[in-house]
Amino acid sequence: MKLTLSLLASGALSASAFTGSPLAFAPASVSRPSTTALDASKNKLKIASRTKWAESRGFGSAGVAESEGVAAGLMTNADGLEYVKLVHPDTGATSEVYLLGGVVTSYVDGDGQEFIAVRPDAKMDGSKPISGGLSHCWPQFGPGEIQQHGFARNVNWTVKSVTETSVELEMAPSDYTKEMWDKEFLCTFSVDLEADQLSTKMFVENKGEESFDFQAALHSYFTVSALENLEISGSFEGKEFLNKLAGDGGEMQTEERSAITITEEYDRVYKGINDPVLKDAGTGKTLSVLNTAGWEDTVLWNPYGDEGMGYNNFVCVESVKFDPVTLAGGASWTGDMALKPGSAE
C-alpha cells in the first residue's frame, strides 16, 4: 500500500491509499516558518498523537512498517525531528530524509558503506539548519539579497508521497518565505532508493504570472576515511574555476589537474563540470555524482584544519546551478542527481 498525504486548508493532513508496496507511517508535520527549538511538552503530545494514529491501524508505536526485519517509514529522532527512512528490500540499502530542510542525511549501500556525512557539530533538534547531508540552497546560493543560501534548508518540507523505497517532499510559500522572497513557487524534491544507486530530483515550478530568478544547489557532504585517502576525478583539467578564498575579486582561473586532492582549506566553483567521482583509498570505494539535468557546475568545499567541523572525514562536492535561472510564469526547472557507489580497485 502506498500512502499520499495532502495538506488541507485547515492545516490537517489526509491520507489516501492505493495499491503498492506495503508501508505505513504517521502524518508528516505541517511546515513551520522558523527553526526555533522544539517545545518539549508539545513534542510529547505530537509523538503521542502519532503513536495513537499508527497503533489504530495495527502498526507499531514507531509508525513504521516491518517486514522480515526491514523497517521503513516516518520516524522521530531523539530530539524530536521527523525523518523518513527508506529501505531497499533486495539489497538492504537504506537512506534517511529529514523533513527539516528536506535534507538527505544518510545513504548506506548494500555493502553497509555510509556515503553521506553529517558534521559532528550539527544541531539535530531544529534550532538551526542541519549541517551536513544533501542540503538545499534555494532560491539563493551563498550570500546575496536574502539570507545565506536562501530558506529551503530552514523550513519543514511536507510529505507528498512515500513508499518503502521513495519519498517526495514539497515546499510552498509561507509567511516566513514571503518576508524575504515574495514569489509564487512550488518546489518538489524526490528521493528514490534503487538497488545500486540513490536518485534525487529537484523540481521547481513558477506558479505565478511574473518571472523570477533563482540559484540552486545541493550542498552535499560526503564521508571520507581521511582526506589523505581522497581523490576527486572528473573533467576538471582545462576548466575554469573561481577560488572563493583567493581574494582576487572573482577572477577566474584554469584548473591544470585532472584529479583533485584536498591539502588546504578549499572553496572553489568549477563552471561546466558535473561529473565528479570520489575515490577513497581507505574504504576501497568510489562514488560517482551523476548530474544528468539542471546541475551544470560543481563546488568543492572543505574547512581544512577545523576539528570542530570534523574536516578530515568529509568533503563537500556540491551539485550547483551557479548562474541564475530565469523562470517564466508557468514554467519549470528540473535538477537530477544520482549517487552511484563503485569499487576503487
Quick: pLDDT tens for 40-69: 333 333 333 333 323 332 323 334 444 344
Per-residue burial over 300-318, b if 16 or more Cβ lie within 10 Å, else e, is bbbbeeeeebbbbbbbbbb
C-alpha angle 310-277-98 in degrees, rounded to nearest 5: 55
Q: What per-residue confidence (pLDDT) applies to 60? A: 32
Question: Which secondary-structure segment (H or E) carries 50?
Answer: helix 40-56
Residues sharing a CB contact under 8 Å with residue 67, sequence separation 6 or more, in sequence order: 22, 89
What are 297's three cell numbers? 557546475
Mean pLDDT across the stretch 83-106? 98
Is-contact 105 112, C-beta < 8 A? Answer: no
End-to-end CA distance of the chain: 41
SS3 121: coil
Would the pLDDT of 128 be above 60?
yes
* Dist. CA 164–CA 193, nearest whole Å: 9
pLDDT digits (tens, 9 = 90+) for 198-233: 999 999 999 999 999 999 999 999 999 999 999 999
Which 8-state DSSP code applies to residue 227?
G
pLDDT digits (tens, 9 = 90+) for 255-289: 999 999 999 999 999 999 999 999 999 999 999 99
- pLDDT tier, 195 (very low <50, low <70, confident <90, very high otherwise): very high
pLDDT above 70 covers a percentage of the chain that reads 79
Closest CA relative to residue 327, chosen from 218, 185, 188, 172: 185
Question: Which secondary-structure segment (H or E) carries 55?
Answer: helix 40-56
CA distances in angstroms from 44 to 79, 98, 159, listed in the order given: 11, 19, 21
What are 342's three cell numbers? 563503485
Would the pLDDT of 20 be above 70?
no
Q: What per-residue confidence (pLDDT) applies to 71? A: 62
* Dist. CA 319–CA 234, nearest whole Å: 13
* Dist. CA 282–CA 170, nearest whole Å: 37
pLDDT digits (tens, 9 = 90+) for 282-328: 999 999 999 999 999 999 999 999 999 999 999 999 999 999 999 99
Rg of the chain in Å (alpha carbons): 20
Domain architecture of the chain: domains with CATH: 2-7+16-226+298-305+313-338 (2.70.98.10)
